[in-house]
Amino acid sequence: MDPLNELLTTDFRPLDREAADLYLSVVAQVKPDALRLPTPCPDWTLHGLLRHQVSQDEGFAAAARGEGARLSAWRGGDLGEDPLAAARASAGLVTEAFAGAALDARFDLPEIRDGGAFPAALAISFHFVDLVVHAWDVAAAIGAAWEPGAELVEASLKVAAIVPEEGRGPGDSFAPSVPSADGAEPRDRLLALLGRDPAWRS
């Protein structure tokens, strides 16, 4: 099956919930004094990265409700005094919104490819891979373990394979892909596909 067609016919919502659990398990290990640490995303400190994910959760939730066309829906993330509580709240918000969305609906994603409407199944896959890889970003920043299951890695590789190289750059979730070592593990290949050096350390 064509990779894109496979994504369009896959219900990523269960995988997205697993990815949220993975992400939150790493965020739970972040200490307040770590929020200023650099991350593998050069433009973001750890605080900025966590805020970005809250914003993405809120934006995707708005898109699932048919309200995603406004850029402001994607820019309001606030960590407040408790980043973990904020991350849990936004994860719950987007999980609930995805559960109520039809997979044949279309989501407005104004931050992707200069905006436009995407099939719900594909849009949810984008959110899913964001969570999996940003979980690594957080883990790398604080020196924690990142242990996605094989199913999460396999599904993430399928999504990463269709992410175009153009449009990646400063301030984006993904940088241009980097070479992957021969015989690299699937999860390292995933990181390289999305512009991460698996050996990065803060």
Name, in order, each residue with C-beta under 8 angstroms of 166's C-beta and a sequence gap of 6 or more: none
Are 190 and 153 in contact, with CB atoms under 8 Å apart? yes
Give pLDDT tens digits for 43-61: 899 999 999 999 999 999 9
Cα separation values, 65 from 55, 154, 202, Å: 15, 29, 38
Residue 144 phi, psi dihedral angles, 5° rounding: -100, 165
Q: What is the pLDDT of residue 87?
A: 98
Residue 169: pLDDT over 80: no
Q: What is the pLDDT of residue 180?
A: 83
pTM given for the model: 0.93
DSSP 108: E
Which tokens is 118 given? 């995407």
In whole angstroms, what is the distance from residue 45 CA to residue 34 CA? 9
> Hunting for tokens 């409700």 — which residue is that?
65
Are 11 and 23 in contact, with CB atoms under 8 Å apart? no
Are 76 and 54 in contact, with CB atoms under 8 Å apart? no
SS3 state of residue 44: coil
**More confidently predicted of 164 and 163:** 163
Which range, of 88-92, 101-105, 133-137, averages the lowest pLDDT?
101-105
